[in-house]
Amino acid sequence: MPTYVVTAYCEKCAVNHPTAVELDWSEQVSPQKNIAEVFEGMFLPPEIAMMSRNYFLCPQTGKMHKQADNTKMFLAKTCCGHPGCQGRHPYLLCLGSTTHSERGHSDES
């Protein structure tokens, strides 16, 4: 089951930042879809419903902010899904690499 981290759009620097909220979700989620689109017609999982009360760190300003607008929050995979990975690194590290060894995986897995 894929694990996702909630990212929140920062109004101060105009960048999406990862939050401390993770979600195991059985369906594949497009990174272009916001939380409102992903869970349209469904109840929000409790981890995400609590987001309006949680703060995230903006590394550019060094300050804590919160985002309560579900159209400005997204789900990003936490791992590339390679069997040898087991969630040991953020998915974003995999995007620029072409082989498993470049991603930090053993090619035997």
Residues 67-101: tens digit of each pLDDT: 989 999 999 887 655 655 555 555 444 444 444 44
pTM above 0.75, yes or no: no
Reference 5, options 64, 37, 48, 40; nearest CA is 48
Instruction: Give 13's contacts (C-beta < 8 A, 6+ positions apart).
Output: 58, 60, 61
Please write the tens of the pLDDT for every residue from 49-64: 887 778 889 999 999 9
* Bridge partners for 3 per DSSP: 24
Contact 20, 91 (CB under 8 A): no
